[in-house]
Amino acid sequence: MPTNTLNGRSFAVDEEGFLTDRDQWSEELATELAALIGIELDEEHLAPLRFMREDSARTGVTPTLRRMQTVGGFDIKALFGLYPGKPAKKMAWLAGLRKPVGCV
């Protein structure tokens, strides 16, 4: 299992770079990771990440965008605005979770 090291912090990742141990995550780490993909994490960006961590702690899987809307109450368009391109993937990565596997 590969390990990423960023600013002196080491964490286990899978072959694609997603964290494999959710307990190695912290909001500080998320902020530093976000800088790598050109995102400045503010409260608006952090809210969906916190929901994803809470939800996945309950269900055991990374929530899909659809679930972020129906369960989390987030606006999909807004999520695309906050995390352009691949929001579900970017958010899962920043939240220290595995890549989402759901189809919808």
Partner 1 sequence: MTTTTSTLPEGFILPDFGDAPRTTRTVQTGESSAVTTTTSYDGPRKMAFICSKGNLDMAYPALIMGNAALGEGVEVHLFFTFWGLDIVNTKTNDKLRFTMAGNTAMHLDDLGRLRPGLEHASVPQALGNLPGMTGMATRMLKRQMAEQDIPTVPEFLDLLQASGAHLYACRLSFDMAKMLEADLHPGVEGVISAGDFIEIAQGAQIVFV
- What does the binding site for partner 1 look like in residue numbers (CB under 8 A)? 2, 4-7, 13, 15-18, 35-40, 65-67, 69-70, 75-77, 80, 85-90, 93, 99, 102-104
Given 1, 101, 103, 104, the catalytic residue: 103
Strand partners, 10: 5
The reply to whether 97 belongs to the active site is no
Contact predicate 93/82, CB 8 Å: no
The CA R_g of the chain, rounded to the nearest whole Å, is 13
Number of H helices, E strands in the chain: 5, 2
- Helix, strand, coil percentages, rounded to 5, for the chain: 50, 10, 40
Instruction: List the catalytic residues.
Output: 103
